[in-house]
Chain A
Amino acid sequence: MAIEIEKPSVGLSKVAVSETHGEFHHILQVSFDLLEEYLEKHSEATKWENKSCGFRKNALFQDYHGLQSFRKAMASFMEQIRGGRAKFNPERVVLTAGATAANELLTFILADPGDALLIPTPYYPGFDRDLRWRTGVKILPIKCDSSNKFEITPEALEAAYNEAESMNIKVRGVLITNPSNPLGSTVKRSLLEEILEFATRKNIHLISDEIYSGSAFSCTEFVSISEVLEARGYKDAERVHVFYSLSKDLGLPGFRVGTIYSYNDKVVTTARRMSSFTLISSQTQQLLASMLSDKEFTQNYIKINRERLRKRYEIIIDGLKKAGIKCLKGNAGLFCWMNLSPLLEKPTKEHELDLWKSILHEVKLNISPGSSCHCSEPGWFRVCFANMSEQTLEFALRRINDFMERRKCMRSTT
């Protein structure tokens, strides 16, 4: 019998020693004042009542179902964001401590280790970590490119699926982000229907990460998969799941509130049980339940927030245009997808990263290079516009302008 030679230091698992991925956080600051105003108004309206028996009687459940009033409020908020074009049932809302946890949890449920999810590129870099790390699930890209505004095509879907098959990898689902991060654009209805049709044909899941749904610049620009389902009487719905969170639309990432909304009973039950590993504190649920149930506040917030985002977007697009930079036409989200490929000496990832470093260094603006988002075309970058004041944005745009001028000079002298 072989004797194992123990290492002198006590061993750690593979998960513990694996590499981490960078942080790509940005937060919504444009509408903090609305939240502050709400909280100010509403804590004064209610009175302190020191009923100890009431206190016990109204004990908050620390229960994986979550506070019902909060689930109702989340469902109603999600409906409002979609202009009432889709209904959400509070019984299907599963709560998690943040969207990150929701992403991982659903992956545990839908796929076994070694299975894969298909995700259109470019995609949010955090997926590489959140969907794969502990789950052992793979991500296979659905390649999209600028020839058609980085939209998913049925051909690209098929190609990705077939590639997986040829490698003997079982595909368990397609994950789309709508509105897209990093593109800042929404997926049109007909395409949603095509993707759903594809998923049905292959008998796989369709996950729609709609975490930026409240950040579409106008209510009608965004079509949710839930609307598509409702319109067809929920046919094939059991394979569809939606992510949502308050981190982006409400700018409350610190609260750690995420949801999985699933049309599949088994997934809801299982996700709920698994959410024991990532519960939201009961008092946060309580506070937010009050706020999100206030329909007047939420309607107003959604409307104003959209307006402000649209205005910001226009400022940045304008500013970039003046600097000679083209961007993908966007209609949602907290960022835009800009094309700096003309600046690349050669269209390679290395040159993109060099350019990225120069921008970081000279413009001192933290932007995300497309390669970190697995973009197949080098030279694209994501720049956030909602996480700074307007002043700072103007300032950043001036710096970008200067940077571009310098580059122009450099090129004309070489």
Chain B
Amino acid sequence: MTRNPESELEPGSRKPTRTGMRLIVPLQGIVQGRGGLLLGSLIPCALVYFLQVYLKRHRSSKTLSPSTSAENLTELPRSSSRANLLTRGSIGRVHVSSRASSIAKPNDSPYYIGLDRVQEDPYDEINNPNGIIQLGLSENRLSLDLIEEWLSKNLSASMLGEGGNDLNICGIATYRPADGLMELKVAMAGFMTEVMGRTISFNPSSVVLLSGATPALEILSFCLADQGNAFLVPTPYYPGFDRDMRWRTGVELIPVHCRSCDDFTLNIKALDQAFNQARKRGQKVRGVLISNPSNPVGNVLSMDMLYNLLDFARERNIHIISDEIFAGSMYGNEEFVSMAQILGSEDSDRDRVHIIYGLSKDFSLPGFKVGVIYSFNENVLAASRKLARFASISAPTQRLVVSMLSDIKFTREYMKTNRERIKKMHDLFVEGLRELGIESAKSSAGLCCWVDMSRLISPYNEKGELELWDKLSNIAKINVTPGSACHCIEPGWFRCCFTTLNEKEIPLVIERISKVVETCKRSA
């Protein structure tokens, strides 16, 4: 039975208010994928060179110099698509689907609005010193120089001598398995083993490669749930989940609130309650979606907690999706424990655990679009492999990444240095905020901190929070993500990403925040 095409149904509007807190449902447009800006002319130069070298096929006569396409790069004017289209297009008298209608609506989540604002008025030390400083995008710019250095050293080294049949344009250009080259699966499995602490070994056959963690999550959602089913998601959570898990799948997310008194750690009792309430409503819960390390809070789950979660999932016979994309960005003292680690080798629970990974955060390469589904469930793997045809990684990119990840010395060095840099920035930033009397939640990983500005908001509710957010955006000219966009039940928390900054910019950011703090104190 078809839905009424004329009604502009926003699927989110079906949801009743559950917890008394209004949910912002950003089904609408997104500005970018899970990450943001990326590398420059380096990579394409590398790529042209790379391909060219492949073509040479063992001819050693010339030393090839990689090209730059700096002159070909134009500054991409990212204006709103709606504004710039020629009017020769449409007024849309012809029908579009209700899915499309809801997506076409303008953004109303501060998460996306903030990103738009930065686009229009981006801070630049020289050209636009009064622009908005970006703290709303969890993107790591701290260690791109290391990648650049590797590329400059390694492109001229032998890509030639890798032997094998695929070292020509034929090998890169032709159809390959939709779920990725085996060499990349091997390299990725090896990398994940490194990142997750080398306590377990990841199996290349359980790796499905996709063009980013965004499609990875959507594909898992399609595999594990039917339309109308739900996942339990501890809050606060990454605003992109609402899009990735729900948009086209028709699956719902049920927030399970975590609180500051628990350091925003997962609460099994709360999960249980949410599960029961869903059942009473007749809603089928298919799984729990966690991010570990957490985005936005930055904490990690202890091994005990992981076991408890697994027990819960087993009792309810549901899945666990563990988004571990920040696993390599640890700076605290804890050890990261992956869901993969707590599963025994003969464990029948293996079928219910699925891990999301990718290179956007830990390896600072969002533009490459490299995401992973790692699952122990053969059926899920089989289905994901087929669905991967809708989101395959570009072959030349796969080749480049294989080389990078296979250089274990480089990746170890990179991860170590990167961690140190993240820690340094984190400590500077948190200290700076502390001097203003602003505390952050305990965190040990990720590219952001979860900041408590609740004492600055008035009234103590979402409205007050958004007013502060607005002030931060318009007066302090910094873009942060308000907790309400992350479905946080306690008002006044903000996610601030500090890895898009350099060290000099931290005092500047603190100073700008202090202005707003003053304004708030004065009006209190």
- Could you show 26 A-B contacts with beta carbons less than 8 Å apart? A13-B224, A20-B386, A32-B169, A39-B52, A44-B52, A45-B67, A48-B67, A62-B36, A63-B36, A65-B76, A91-B81, A97-B393, A113-B227, A204-B94, A238-B94, A253-B174, A254-B174, A254-B394, A256-B393, A264-B90, A264-B96, A265-B90, A270-B104, A276-B214, A281-B397, A293-B72
Asked if A286 and B89 sit within 8 Å, CB to CB, the answer is no
Contacts A58-B73, A256-B393, A278-B391 given; does A44 touch B173 at CB 8 Å: no
B55 engages A36 (CB within 8 Å): yes
Q: Are A255 and B81 neighbours in the complex by a CB distance under 8 Å? A: no
User: Is B72 a contact of A69 with CB atoms below 8 Å?
Assistant: yes
Contact check, A279 vs B152: say whether CB atoms are below 8 A apart. Answer: no
Question: A-facing mask of B26-40, CB < 8 A → 1, else 0?
Answer: 001111110111111
Q: A68-B76, A263-B89, A283-B46 are in contact. Are A269 and B29 (CB under 8 A)?
A: yes
The answer to whether B72 and A100 touch across the interface, beta carbons within 8 angstroms, is no
Q: Is residue B334 within 8 Å, beta carbon to beta carbon, of the partner chain?
A: no
B319–A10 touching, CB < 8 Å: yes
* A100 and B367 contact, CB distance less than 8 A: no
Q: Is A366 an interface position by the 8 A CB rule?
A: no
Segment at the A interface, from B1-9, B255-263, B413-421: B1-9
- Docked Cα-Cα span, A281 to B103, in Å, equals 23
CA–CA, A283 to B211, complex, Å? 13
Q: In the complex, which residues of chain A have a beta carbon less than 8 angstroms from the beta carbon of B218?
A: 277
Q: Could you tell me if A13 and B48 are in contact, using CB atoms closer than 8 angstroms?
A: no
Q: Are A27 and B175 in contact (CB under 8 A)?
A: yes
A43–B39 CB distance below 8 A: no
Bitwise interface map of B from 145 to 176 toward A, beta carbon under 8 Å scored 1, else 0: 10010001000000000000000111011111
Closest CB in chain A relative to B337 CB, distance in Å: 22
Q: Least Cβ distance of A110 to chain B in Å?
A: 6
Let me know if B100 and A110 touch, CB within 8 A. Answer: yes
A61 touches B74 (CB 8 A): no
Residue A267 lies at the interface, judged by CB distance under 8 Å to chain B: yes
Q: Which of B39, B66, B85, B386 contacts A60 (CB 8 A)?
A: B39
Report whether A44 and B65 are in contact in the complex, using a CB–CB cutoff of 8 Å. yes
Q: Tell whether B352 is near chain A: CB-to-CB under 8 Å.
A: yes
Residues of B within 8 A of A411 (CB): none
Given contacts A25-B175, A69-B73, A134-B387, contact A91 B319 (CB under 8 A): no
Say whether B369 faces chain A, with CB atoms less than 8 Å apart: yes
- Where the two chains meet, the residues of A that have a C-beta atom closer than 8 Å to any C-beta of B are 6-7, 9-17, 20, 25, 27, 29, 32, 35-36, 39-40, 42-52, 54-65, 67-69, 89, 91-92, 97-98, 100-101, 104, 108-115, 130, 133-134, 169-170, 172, 203-205, 234, 237-239, 251-257, 262-270, 272-274, 276-284, 286-287, 289-290, 293
A60 near B367: Cβ-Cβ < 8 Å:
yes
Number of interface residues of B (CB under 8 A): 117
Closest chain A CB from B109 CB (angstroms): 13
Query: Is there an interface contact between A266 and B100, defined as CB atoms closer than 8 Å?
Result: yes
Tell me, yes or no, whether B269 is within 8 Å of chain A by CB.
no
Q: B78 contacts A265, CB within 8 Å?
A: no
- The answer on a CB contact under 8 Å between B67 and A61 is no
Q: Are the CB atoms of B394 and A108 closer together than 8 Å? A: no
Contact B395 A255 (CB under 8 A): yes
Name the residue on B nearest A230 (C-beta).
Answer: B88
- Least CB distance from A310 to B in Å reads 22
Question: Nearest 5 A-B pairs (CB), nearest first?
Answer: A238-B90, A286-B44, A46-B67, A254-B395, A282-B367
**A287 lies within 8 A of B81 (CB):** no
**A63 x B78 contact (CB < 8 A):** yes
Does chain A have a CB within 8 A of B409?
A: no
Residues of B within 8 A of A36 (CB): 55, 168-169
Beta-carbon nearest neighbor of B168 in chain A = A36
Chain B neighbourhood of A6, CB < 8 A? 317
Is B506 an interface position by the 8 A CB rule? no
Question: Cβ of B100 and Cβ of A270 under 8 Å apart?
Answer: yes
A274 to B211 alpha-carbon distance, docked (Å): 13
The residue from B28, B32, B175 contacting A63, defined by CB atoms under 8 A apart: B32
